Chains A and B, each alone.
Chain A
Amino acid sequence: MEIGVDPLSPVPIYQQIRDRIVEAIGDGKLRRGDVLGSVRAMAGALRINPATVVKAYELLRSEGLVATNAKTGTFVARDRDGEHPDAAFEGDWSQRLTTVLAEGRARGIGHDRILEFCGEICNRLESGRRMQKEGQ
Chain B
Amino acid sequence: MVWTIPMVVAVGAALVAVPRISRRTVPLGVSVPHARTGELVVTRAVRTYQWACVALTVLTVLGSWATKAIEGSGGLWLLGLIVSGMGTFAVCRLPIVRAKRAGEWYEGVPVRIGAVLTEERTARPVWAAHAFSLSVAIVGIVIPWATLATLPDSSGQVVRWGDKSWGVAMTVPTITLVVAAGFAVLAWAITRRRDSILPDGDWAKARSLRDESSRVVQIALASFSVIGTLMTTSLGVTPLLRVSKTAADTALCAGSVALLVPIVWLIAATARAQTRGRAVTHLRADPDSPDDDALWKLGFIYYNTEDPSAFVPKRMGVGYEPNAGHPLGLLIYLIAPIAILVAVVVFVLG
Contact = CB atoms under 8 A, between A and B. Distances in A.
A104 to B, nearest CB: 21
Interface centre among B112, B117, B118, B306 (most CB of A within 10 A): B117
A20 to B, nearest CB: 8
A35 B118 contact: yes
A101 to B, nearest CB: 25
Contacts of A30: 117-118
B113 A1 contact: no
B115 A42 contact: yes
A6 B308 contact: no
Interface in A41-59: 41-50
B204 A4 contact: no
Interface string B103-115: 0001000111111
Given A1-B117, A34-B118, A45-B194, A6 B111 contact: yes
Contacts of A21: 117
B118 A5 contact: no
Contacts of B140: none
A7 interface: yes
Given A45-B194, A132-B204, A2 B115 contact: yes
A136 interface: yes
B292 interface: yes
* Interface of chain B: mostly helix, strand, loop or mixed: loop
Nearest to B116: A2
Given A6-B110, A8-B290, A45-B196, A37 B116 contact: yes
A5 B197 CA distance: 11
Contacts of B304: 47
Given A21-B117, A136-B286, A8 B111 contact: yes
A28 B152 CA distance: 73
A2 B114 contact: yes
A5 B112 contact: yes
Contact size range, B:
20 to 34
A7 B117 CA distance: 17
A37 to B, nearest CB: 6
Interface string A1-20: 11111111000000000001
A69 to B, nearest CB: 17
A61 interface: no
B320 to A, nearest CB: 12
Contacts of A43: 306-308
Interface residues of A, number: 32
B105 to A, nearest CB: 13
A6 B112 contact: yes
B119 to A, nearest CB: 6
Interface string B195-210: 1110100011001000
A7 B115 CA distance: 13
A47 B116 contact: no
Contacts of A40: 308-309
Interface in B139-168: none
Given A6-B111, A8-B111, A1 B118 contact: yes
B295 interface: yes
Contacts of A35: 118-119
A30 B255 CA distance: 50
A24 interface: yes
B277 interface: no
Contacts of A135: 112, 114
A7 B198 CA distance: 12
Given A4-B112, A4-B199, A7-B111, A37 B287 contact: no
Nearest 9 interchain pairs by C-beta: A44-B309, A45-B115, A45-B196, A4-B112, A40-B308, A49-B306, A4-B114, A46-B115, A3-B117
Interface of B: 106, 110-120, 194-197, 199, 203-204, 207, 286-287, 290, 292, 295, 304, 306-309, 312
Given A6-B112, A42-B117, A46-B113, 14 more contacts: A2-B115, A2-B116, A2-B117, A4-B113, A4-B199, A4-B287, A35-B118, A36-B117, A40-B308, A43-B307, A47-B295, A47-B312, A135-B112, A135-B114
10 contacts: A2-B203, A5-B115, A6-B112, A6-B287, A36-B117, A40-B309, A46-B115, A47-B196, A48-B307, A136-B112
